[in-house]
Structure formats: structure tokens, C-alpha cells
Structure 1
Amino acid sequence: MKSLLLTLALVLTLAATSLAGVKGYEMNYMAGDTLLRGYLAVNEDLEGRRPGVLVVHEWWGLNAYARERARMLAELGYTALAVDMYGEGKTADHPREAGQFAMEVRQNLPLAQERFTAAMAMLQQHPSVNPDQLAAIGYCFGGSVVLEMARTGLDINGVAAFHASLATENPAQPGLVRAKVRVYNGADDPMVTADEIAAFKAEMQSAGADFRFINYPGATHSFTNPGADELGKKFDLPLAYHAEADASSWQDLQEFFAEIFR
């Protein structure tokens, strides 16, 4: 019954994103010589400036899922920018291509920083956004990106990573992590090992970071994405949607934002 109620709550949340007031706009911006194609969601029924949230896509690229999460954030009263980390709005239809796109960014931290901060600057300049109140969330590949940005000392209120890789070649240094950190992980995700979790927690503790790590029993990789089951079957990957973990992590995210944007 609890799982059914949580599923119902999530469906209602998804439906709410279509309410009047929430508008979505395709946004072009530059990082160096690369054209990036983002998606901005804003509730135009609200007045005044509000916190801005960057949404970083899964390894598939900036697709409908990342856009929908941006719209859900707009319905909550934030202005959200779903960012393009690949350039030209590229998306992948196969894990082989997605992996190639993701590694090009993950193995080049300066490139990732350039593209992320370009999106951040554009969001800060939007008339609906308080430039001093910013957060970033990311899914899978995107979760890894926001964690890397936190490790670099990015001046942002908070980051939240959903079913992300925790491994890094650039561990956080003591005192450098300014953002508060949330990690939402599927406890049954074979892509994130117990050793990686232990190493991540030790890294954050050593850095003096304000962080919280939440494990969801029964949840595996991509547990927030309703399309994960189909993708998992199609490509024989350990991907599966988990409605209870999705609803619970989304609720915790809202509480996290209430904390960092006080």
C-alpha cells in the first residue's frame, strides 16, 4: 500500500508539471567555441527572484527525461536549466555511443567545468533567478558531474546526485568543498560497489564536507527514471525504475533545498 501511495504521489507530481504558468524554452549558449543547447523551465505565474537549479542529464544526453525534471522543479517554484554537457544537443540511442560521449567529458575536467559554468552563468543572469541561490542535481552521468563540480570547490549552495558513479581521479581536498552534498543511491546497484561507497564517504569526511549519503534497499541503477525498465531490457543492462525510491529521494531533495535556501 505504501508503495502504491508513493507511486500515486509521483504520478500526480509529474502531472502537475503541465499546469499553467510553467513554461519551457530551448536555450542556446556557448562554452568556448562549442554551441550548447539547454532547456529552461520557469513558472511565469510567480513574481520576484527565486533559487535556480541546474539539471545535468544521464549519459544519454539532454533528452525528455532531464527536461521533465526541470519542469518538475519549476512547478516547485524554482527556475531550472537542464544543461547540455555534450554540445550541439547531442543525444545517444545506444550505450556504446552514450559511453563515448560521457567519457569525453568525464576524462576532461577542464572541459566539464567550462560547460557547467557556462550554464551556471546563463542561469544566474535570468531575471527570475537569485544569483546567490543556486543548486545542481544530476542523474547517473550527471550525478557524477555535479559531484566533480563540488570537489573543485564550486561556489554553489548544494549538489544532489542520483544513482551516480562515485569514483574520481580528483578527490576533494580538505576545506575545498563549499556545496552541501546529497547522494541518492540504489543499494542494489551493481555499478556502485561497497568499496566505492566507503571510499566516497571517507573522501567527504576527510574533506570536511557537509554531506549525506542515502541508500535505497531494492533499488538499482537509474531508479528514478520511469523509462529505465525498457532500456534495461533492450540493452541487457541492470537498469530498473523503483517508484518508492524515486518518490522518497524527490521528497528528500525538496527538504534539502528548503535547508540550503533558507
Structure 2
Amino acid sequence: LKKVDRIFAIGYCFGGAVVLNQARMGNDLAGVASFHGSLGTQTPAQEGKVKAKVLVATGGADPMVPAKQVGDFVTEMGEAGVSLQLLSFPGVLHSFTNPDATAKGKETGLPVAYDEAADKQSWAALMQFLK
């Protein structure tokens, strides 16, 4: 058996919020990546507690993750000394990595839509992050 040296947690939407909270709790992770996940929290990261590097990809026009929440998150991570890479895609809505999102958004009236460029760029950023 080979020993695992580095563990990453990756989440989309609700899962994106979950992995960020795993990092905030100080779990032993090399990194966490959140795609269109909520960035708000009742328990902000504390300096010296977060071990994981953090990658966040968010839609700049996502009403579920508004600009104030993104700004507050960046401030939180900065004050906690967390290594953060943030990708914000202008004009992009929630669920931008899901090819079915546009049809679902039209069907349900929710502000969700697929964005191929944001999907590909965020995936490439994740592949680089994992290295």
C-alpha cells in the first residue's frame, strides 16, 4: 500500500461551501477547491488554523454568491493568512460548470446557466492547483 501524502477536497455548489468549511475548521487538507459554492460563513477562518490552500471559482453575475459575499470572503481569507486563488468570471451565473444548467434555468426560472469558457478555465485552474 502506498501512503497518501496530500488530500484535496473539491466541491460544486453546496459541496463548494462544505469544502471551504472543512478548510476553515483546520482539517488536514493540502487544498480545497470550490466551484460556484457559497462563500459566506458564521465561523470565519482564523489565522494559523487553515492548513489548506484554497481555490475558488465563482460567477461574477451569480446572485446566489453576490459581490459583497465574494469581497467579504477575500477579506476573511486575507486576514487569516490563507493562500487563496480566486477566479471570478464577469457576466457568468451560478452552475456555470453544468452543461445542463441553461435548460434547467429556463425550465425553473432560476438564475443558472452553463458557460463553456468559465467551465474550461476553472477546470484548467484546478488541474494546475492540484500540481
The equivalent of 1:178 in structure 2 is 51
Could you tell me which runs of 5 or more consecutive residues in structure 1 were left unpaired when the two chains were aligned. Answer: 1-126
The equivalent of 1:243 in structure 2 is 116
Of 91, 99, 102, 1:229 maps to 102
The equivalent of 1:211 in structure 2 is 84
Shift of 1:227: 1.0
Whether 1:157 and 2:30 are equivalent positions in the alignment is yes
For residues 131 and 195 of structure 1, the distance between their equivalents in structure 2, rounded to whole angstroms, comes to: 38
The equivalent of 1:192 in structure 2 is 65
Partner-residue secondary structure (3-state), 2:8: strand
Shift of 1:130: 4.1
Partner-residue secondary structure (3-state), 1:226: coil
> Is the 2:60–2:67 Cα contact (8 Å) retained in structure 1?
no
What amino acid maps onto 1:170 in structure 2? T
The equivalent of 2:20 in structure 1 is 147
Aligned pairs (5 A) from 1:106-145: 130-145=3-18
For residues 144 and 241 of structure 1, the distance between their equivalents in structure 2, rounded to whole angstroms, comes to: 20
For residues 229 and 130 of structure 1, the distance between their equivalents in structure 2, rounded to whole angstroms, comes to: 42
Aligned pairs (5 A) from 1:46-125: none
The structure in which a higher percent of residues are strand is 1
What amino acid maps onto 1:179 in structure 2? A
Identify which of structures 1 and 2 has the higher relative contact order when contacts are C-alpha pairs closer than 8 Å and 6+ apart.
Answer: 2
Calculate the TM-score normalised by the size of structure 1: 0.49
What amino acid maps onto 1:232 in structure 2? G
Moved over 6 A (4+): none
Structure (1 or 2) with the larger CA radius of gyration: 1
Partner-residue secondary structure (3-state), 2:19: helix
Q: Percent identity?
A: 50
Total equivalences in the alignment = 131
What amino acid maps onto 2:22 in structure 1? M
Per-residue CA deviation, residues 84-112 of structure 1 (Å, 9 max, x unaligned), is xxxxxxxxxxxxxxxxxxxxxxxxxxxxx
> Is the 2:58–2:88 Cα contact (8 Å) retained in structure 1?
yes
Shift of 1:190: 1.2
